[in-house]
Protein backbone atom coordinates (compact mmCIF):
# COMPACT_ATOMS: atom_id res chain seq x y z
CA UNK A 1 0.00 0.00 0.00
CA UNK A 2 2.78 2.44 0.88
CA UNK A 3 4.61 1.71 -2.38
CA UNK A 4 1.43 2.26 -4.38
CA UNK A 5 0.86 5.59 -2.63
CA UNK A 6 4.50 6.63 -3.18
CA UNK A 7 4.29 5.77 -6.88
CA UNK A 8 1.08 7.81 -7.18
CA UNK A 9 2.76 10.83 -5.59
CA UNK A 10 5.85 10.49 -7.82
CA UNK A 11 3.64 10.18 -10.90
CA UNK A 12 1.60 13.22 -9.92
CA UNK A 13 4.75 15.28 -9.29
CA UNK A 14 6.10 14.21 -12.68
CA UNK A 15 2.92 15.33 -14.42
CA UNK A 16 2.90 18.66 -12.63
CA UNK A 17 6.60 19.26 -13.37
CA UNK A 18 6.13 18.31 -17.04
CA UNK A 19 3.27 20.76 -17.39
CA UNK A 20 4.91 23.63 -15.57
CA UNK A 21 5.04 26.97 -17.30
CA UNK A 22 8.76 27.54 -16.81
CA UNK A 23 10.04 29.34 -19.90
CA UNK A 24 12.48 27.56 -22.15
CA UNK A 25 15.77 29.15 -23.21
CA UNK A 26 14.26 30.14 -26.56
CA UNK A 27 11.24 31.73 -24.87
CA UNK A 28 13.57 33.70 -22.59
CA UNK A 29 15.60 34.79 -25.61
CA UNK A 30 12.49 35.87 -27.51
CA UNK A 31 11.40 37.96 -24.52
CA UNK A 32 14.83 39.59 -24.16
CA UNK A 33 15.18 40.07 -27.91
CA UNK A 34 11.89 41.93 -28.30
CA UNK A 35 12.06 44.04 -25.12
CA UNK A 36 12.36 47.80 -25.60
CA UNK A 37 14.85 48.59 -22.83
CA UNK A 38 17.51 45.92 -23.43
CA UNK A 39 20.99 46.82 -24.68
CA UNK A 40 22.54 45.18 -27.74
CA UNK A 41 25.21 43.76 -25.40
CA UNK A 42 22.52 41.95 -23.39
CA UNK A 43 20.73 40.80 -26.54
CA UNK A 44 23.97 39.32 -27.95
CA UNK A 45 24.66 37.60 -24.62
CA UNK A 46 21.17 36.09 -24.67
CA UNK A 47 21.75 34.76 -28.21
CA UNK A 48 25.06 33.17 -27.13
CA UNK A 49 23.35 31.49 -24.16
CA UNK A 50 20.60 30.06 -26.35
CA UNK A 51 22.50 28.82 -29.40
CA UNK A 52 25.61 26.69 -29.50
CA UNK A 53 28.17 27.11 -32.28
CA UNK A 54 27.15 24.88 -35.18
CA UNK A 55 23.40 25.54 -34.86
CA UNK A 56 21.68 25.79 -38.24
CA UNK A 57 20.94 29.42 -39.06
CA UNK A 58 17.35 28.55 -39.95
CA UNK A 59 16.81 27.75 -36.24
CA UNK A 60 18.42 31.03 -35.17
CA UNK A 61 16.32 33.08 -37.61
CA UNK A 62 13.18 31.26 -36.50
CA UNK A 63 13.68 32.73 -33.02
CA UNK A 64 15.20 36.13 -33.88
CA UNK A 65 13.01 36.95 -36.87
CA UNK A 66 13.61 38.02 -40.45
CA UNK A 67 14.25 41.73 -39.92
CA UNK A 68 17.99 41.32 -40.53
CA UNK A 69 20.43 42.76 -43.03
CA UNK A 70 22.92 40.37 -44.60
CA UNK A 71 26.50 41.35 -43.87
CA UNK A 72 29.79 40.43 -45.51
CA UNK A 73 33.01 42.36 -44.94
CA UNK A 74 34.65 43.78 -48.05
CA UNK A 75 38.16 42.69 -49.02
CA UNK A 76 39.42 46.15 -47.98
CA UNK A 77 37.94 45.76 -44.49
CA UNK A 78 39.39 42.26 -44.15
CA UNK A 79 42.83 43.49 -45.23
CA UNK A 80 42.70 46.48 -42.88
CA UNK A 81 41.68 44.35 -39.90
CA UNK A 82 44.39 41.75 -40.35
CA UNK A 83 44.55 38.00 -40.84
CA UNK A 84 42.51 37.14 -37.71
CA UNK A 85 39.45 39.10 -38.87
CA UNK A 86 36.61 36.66 -39.69
CA UNK A 87 36.18 36.17 -43.41
CA UNK A 88 32.58 35.08 -43.14
CA UNK A 89 29.09 36.41 -43.86
CA UNK A 90 26.60 37.17 -41.13
CA UNK A 91 23.33 38.83 -40.20
CA UNK A 92 22.89 42.23 -38.60
CA UNK A 93 19.84 43.03 -36.50
CA UNK A 94 19.41 46.76 -35.88
CA UNK A 95 18.00 48.31 -32.72
CA UNK A 96 18.02 52.03 -33.44
CA UNK A 97 21.60 52.95 -34.34
CA UNK A 98 23.07 49.90 -32.60
CA UNK A 99 23.07 46.34 -33.88
CA UNK A 100 23.66 42.71 -33.00
CA UNK A 101 25.86 40.84 -35.46
CA UNK A 102 25.25 37.12 -35.87
CA UNK A 103 28.45 35.60 -37.21
CA UNK A 104 28.14 32.45 -39.33
CA UNK A 105 30.59 30.07 -40.94
CA UNK A 106 29.32 30.96 -44.44
CA UNK A 107 32.05 32.35 -46.73
CA UNK A 108 32.03 36.08 -47.52
CA UNK A 109 30.56 35.41 -50.96
CA UNK A 110 28.06 32.87 -49.58
CA UNK A 111 24.59 33.08 -48.07
CA UNK A 112 24.74 33.42 -44.27
CA UNK A 113 21.36 31.69 -44.03
CA UNK A 114 22.97 28.50 -45.36
CA UNK A 115 25.75 28.64 -42.78
CA UNK A 116 25.89 27.68 -39.15
CA UNK A 117 25.92 29.94 -36.10
CA UNK A 118 29.39 30.84 -34.80
CA UNK A 119 28.79 33.64 -32.28
CA UNK A 120 26.94 36.86 -31.60
CA UNK A 121 28.54 40.27 -31.22
CA UNK A 122 27.30 43.82 -30.94
CA UNK A 123 28.13 47.36 -31.96
CA UNK A 124 29.88 49.53 -29.42
CA UNK A 125 27.49 52.24 -28.21
User: How much is the pLDDT for 85?
Assistant: 62
Q: If you write DSSP's letter for every residue of 68-117 in order, what string do you get?
A: EEEE---HHHHHHH-TTS--EEEEEEEETTEEEEEEEEEETTS-GGGSBE
C-alpha to C-alpha distance for 35 and 116, rounded to whole angstroms:
26
Chain segment 76-116, per-residue pLDDT in tens? 665 666 666 667 899 999 999 999 999 999 998 899 999 99
Chain segment 16-50, per-residue pLDDT in tens? 443 333 357 778 888 889 888 999 999 999 999 99
Q: What backbone torsions phi and psi does residue 119 show, to the nearest 5 degrees?
A: -165, 170
Q: If you write DSSP's letter for every residue of 35-65 in order, what string do you get?
A: -TT--HHHHHHHHHHH--TT-BHHHHHHHH-
Q: Is the pLDDT of residue 70 over 60?
A: yes
* pTM listed for this prediction: 0.74
Could you state, in order of their start, the residue ranges of all structural domains in the chain?
A: 23-122
Decide which of 60 and 87 is more confident: 60
Amino acid sequence: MKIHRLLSIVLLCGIVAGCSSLPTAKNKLAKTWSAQDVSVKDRAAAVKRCFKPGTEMSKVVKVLGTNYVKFAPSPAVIAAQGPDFPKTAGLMYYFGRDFVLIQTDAPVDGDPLKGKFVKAGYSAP
